[in-house]
Amino acid sequence: MKVLSPLPFAALCLAVPYAEYIYAPSERTLVPESIYAVNGSIRNPKALIGASKEPTVFHGPSSVTLDFEKNVAGLVTIDLNSSASELAFIGITFSESSLYISHEACDATADAGLDSPLWFSFPNGPGNYTAELKHNRGGFRYMTVVSNTTETISLNRVLLNFTAAPTQKLDEYTGYFHSNDELLNRIWYAGAYTNQLSTIDPSTGNALPWYQIINSTDNISLPETVPWWSNYTISNGTSVLTDGAKRDRLLWPGDMSISLESIGVSTYDLYSVRVALERLLDLQKHDGRLPYASPPYADTVSFTYHCHALNGMSLYFTYSGDKDWLLRYWGQYKAGISYALLSVDRTGLANITASSDWLRFGMGGH
């Protein structure tokens, strides 16, 4: 006798409302969706989007730009078909915008110049070669696969291990938004997905290797590029909310105070929020001051970001109802309020003299 599976009915009942708007993938192994451009002699580029069983063959210097059709994040794997000579290399460049597609560089994470490609060599013959963990790329839509030598090299596939929001079941939102305005609906879900991309494994924060070394007045032009790596541990725990997937990949209370409300009503990933807040609280000074950003960013006084961190604690409690947590940090919360009140003078307004406020560098006043 054939037993009817209860699954289709269950799946129907459990379906997330308005799931069709959700950008998050259901699986973590991603293949690019389409080919954006080919430059040079490349046979059968379709294999790189999973549309052919025959490998893609690069004949000499050439490149193919692949399009994920939305921003994604993670670790690249190259599946090499044929043994390549030791002279053969494959480079990968990333870009969020089509304006920055290049066979020489990725879009930037430092304050000047463009980021270096990821170069792969193939010492072990055919098989999978995965980027090092520190080369987790936080946000890109286009990926260009480059062969830079006269060697012939064939690839079966390129894959992306989508590593953002590591503790989430990516497309299972607990809340939803819907209006009669299609554009607004799509914008709301793009925002919810952006918060997922900005939620990362804490060991993959931006190491800021060029912080206070390269600044926006520097002139770094191709072929020179800027190396990058994401191997700085920015918090405890297994997942943490940051300000942005590509940069800065750090904790910034100002960004949290606009992302927490959407997280509360989309993925409800309050764990990653709590980990971030606990890191900020861990960095609180004796006078009650909370940080502008997490290390490796230097300790900087910011009245507004201090208040954003307190606001984040309030929002976390609002969405979680986690009274034990609030009690645990209540003393620190009060110390934070006291610090903020110190700036209020007899006019009843806060007179702010620190530099990193309202992004009005060097300005102060009420």
Ligand X SMILES: *[C@@H]1O[C@H](CO)[C@@H](O)[C@H](O)[C@H]1NC(C)=O
- Contacting positions for ligand X (CB under 6 A): 29, 39-40, 55, 57, 61, 75, 79, 81-82, 89, 103, 119, 126-128, 133-134, 148-149, 154, 161, 163, 207, 215, 217, 219, 221, 229, 231, 233, 235-236, 279, 282, 351, 353, 365-366
Tokens matching residue 98:
């089509």
Helix (H, G, I), strand (E, B) or coil at 109: coil
Q: Minimum Å distance from CB 19 to ligand X? A: 24
When the beta carbons of 26 and 233 are compared against ligand X, the nearer one is 233
Q: Minimum Å distance from CB 203 to ligand X? A: 9
When the beta carbons of 10 and 38 are compared against ligand X, the nearer one is 38
Q: Minimum Å distance from CB 248 to ligand X? A: 16
The enclosing H or E element of 29 equals strand 29-30
- 3-state percent breakdown (helix, strand, coil) of the chain, nearest 5: 30, 20, 50
When the beta carbons of 230 and 266 are compared against ligand X, the nearer one is 230
When the beta carbons of 125 and 321 are compared against ligand X, the nearer one is 125
Q: What is the C-alpha radius of gyration for the chain, rounded to an integer number of angstroms?
A: 23
Q: Minimum Å distance from CB 175 to ligand X? A: 27
* Residue 111, amino acid: D
**CA-CA distance, 342 to 99, in Å (whole number)?**
47
Q: Minimum Å distance from CB 94 to ligand X? A: 15
When the beta carbons of 17 and 365 are compared against ligand X, the nearer one is 365
Q: Minimum Å distance from CB 221 to ligand X? A: 4
When the beta carbons of 179 and 216 are compared against ligand X, the nearer one is 216
Q: Which residues contact 340 (CB under 8 A, 6 or more apart)?
A: 303, 306, 307, 310, 350
Runs of H (alpha helix) within 80-209? 182-197
Q: Minimum Å distance from CB 321 to ligand X? A: 23
How crowded is the C-beta side of 27, counted as CA atoms within 13 Å? 5
**CA-CA distance, 199 to 190, in Å (whole number)?**
14
| ∠ CA 128-131-134, rounded to 5° | 155
Cα–Cα nearest to 141, from 70, 77, 38, 195: 70
Q: Minimum Å distance from CB 119 to ligand X? A: 4
When the beta carbons of 164 and 260 are compared against ligand X, the nearer one is 164
Helix (H, G, I), strand (E, B) or coil at 194: helix
CB-based closest residue to ligand X: 154
When the beta carbons of 188 and 290 are compared against ligand X, the nearer one is 290
Specify whether the CB–CB gap between 73 and 140 falls below 8 A: yes
